[in-house]
Amino acid sequence: MIDHPYRPPPERPQRYFDTMPVADPLLDPITGFLNRKAGLRAAAILVAESNTSHIPLGTIWVDIDRFRQVNESFGHRGGDRVIALIAERIRAVVRLQCEYSRTGSDEFVLLVPAIDHAEAEQLARRLLVEIERPLRIDTILIRPSASIGVAINQIGENPIALLERADRAMVEAKRQGGNRLVMSGDEPLTGRLGVQLAREELAIESALHAALESGGLRLDFQPILGLDGRVEAVEALMRCYANGQQVDPARFIPVAEKTGLIVRLGEWSLLQGTRCAARLCRQGTPTKLAINVSRAQLLSPRFIQALHGALICADVPPALIELELTESLIMDLSETVQANLRTAREVGVGLAIDDFGTGYSCLSNLKDLPATKLKLDRAFVGVLPDDRRSFAIVKGMTRLGQELGMIVVAEGVETDTQLAALAEAGVDASQGFLHARPMTEDALLAWMKQREQK
């Protein structure tokens, strides 16, 4: 696509980008892209060209996801740095003939002449991949993502209508959860906006209801191993089956969060997880069981009641239960959340901070959390051992966690060399496909028994 010959029409007017000096007030100082006003002018010129030449013009609207969080965590200077780095990535992907503009604090519009639907889609996909690469701000690694809307000029269309179509497609991408691309025309039709997606979500929602009521939910278990090879804990991961097919957690967890069903699902996890911990105890393999808890559960005053209920029903020592909390919770430690976490700790349950390191966490909040474990996100592990800077960060975060009295676990370890690097960085334990994939309770028991015999 990058090699696509760009044939400017013969009477093509000079473009803004060609003629503007670097210090031009119409350039955005952070990215060097056209600012909003100049971007609109460029769109008007290029759309007019396209309408005359009948050479299609692609409009790619890029909006960074969760940018407000970046600004809140790193301040405006940090936010500007993220924008500048993402702009560099965009420039690296898109060919030179494109007009780049920054139309809002975290919004970019790219106008790409002589590009068709398939090429624009391919280009936007490459942008998604490029933007998603982990990005380092100070010592923190963040995982940015974008929502992208793409529209191709329809001959005779006016520039505002074209931009609006790209914007609408971007909004639809955001509505679908971000980190995705929507081609204008593929999104649900105006007037029926959201119907298709809502239908899919409804299907998942009803599958979740059915699963809750008729036994379609299951827990799989994945061990976490200490560096010495002992089983440090086992994480319970929820599975949902609909019509005999497993629904991907990446699809059903967001729907459950959005609809509030996650509270009931989480309670189910808590009940089943604690019961499994009790069974493992009875089978002679007492193991700490880690259960994922979502933000919505912790925001509910009912949470402690549910926790007590689960512990009593299962008759399991609280020290064998650990709650995994996503890092985003740290961003917003409301009174209820803090009180719930404190009570959980008082009861004797362990608290793990999940996916740590990429979620824009505010380090100063870390000290206010009574957590016992820090789980480093697998984004760091995947690039080991070659990425020495990530190695340094893993080492630093490990030290930080340990200094705060936490056990540090690295997630997503898949190779021996990654494990060796993690050992060198000083982590206490690791979890990943290298040791074992998530498995059923029976398989877990067999796996543990087999290890005992070794």
**106 or 322: CB nearest ligand C2E:** 322
Footprint (CB under 6 A) of ligand C2E, residues 360-379: 378
The residue from 120, 181, 237, 410 that contacts ligand C2E (CB under 6 A) is 237
269 binds ligand C2E (CB under 6 A): yes
Contact pattern from residue 209 through residue 228 relative to ligand C2E, giving x for each residue in contact according to CB under 6 A and a dash for the rest: -------------x------
What is the smallest separation between the CB atom of 8 and ligand C2E, expressed in angstroms? 45
Footprint (CB under 6 A) of ligand C2E, residues 294-323: 294
Q: Nearest 5°: phi and psi at 30?
A: -80, -40
What is the smallest separation between the CB atom of 176 and Ca ion, expressed in angstroms? 23
358 binds ligand C2E (CB under 6 A): no
**237 or 422: CB nearest ligand C2E:** 237
Contact pattern from residue 308 through residue 327 relative to Ca ion, giving x for each residue in contact according to CB under 5 A and a dash for the rest: ----------------x---
**79 or 412: CB nearest ligand C2E:** 412
What is the smallest separation between the CB atom of 239 and ligand C2E, expressed in angstroms? 8
Is the CB of residue 255 less than 8 Å from the CB of residue 201?
Answer: yes
Footprint (CB under 5 A) of Ca ion, residues 356-415: 411
What is the smallest separation between the CB atom of 322 and ligand C2E, expressed in angstroms? 12
The residue from 107, 167, 355, 441 that contacts ligand C2E (CB under 6 A) is 355
**147 or 272: CB nearest ligand C2E:** 272
Partner in contact with 266, chosen from Ca ion, ligand C2E, none, beta carbon below 5 to 8 Å by kind:
ligand C2E
**106 or 324: CB nearest ligand C2E:** 324
50 binds ligand C2E (CB under 6 A): no
Footprint (CB under 6 A) of ligand C2E, residues 406-445: 412-414, 431-433, 438
Distances (CA, A) of 31 to 50, 101, 108, 251, 259: 26, 9, 10, 35, 38
Binding site for Ca ion (CB under 5 A): 292, 324, 354-355, 411
Residues forming contacts to ligand C2E in the complex (CB under 6 A) are 222, 237-238, 249, 253, 262, 266, 269, 292, 294, 324, 354-355, 378, 412-414, 431-433, 438
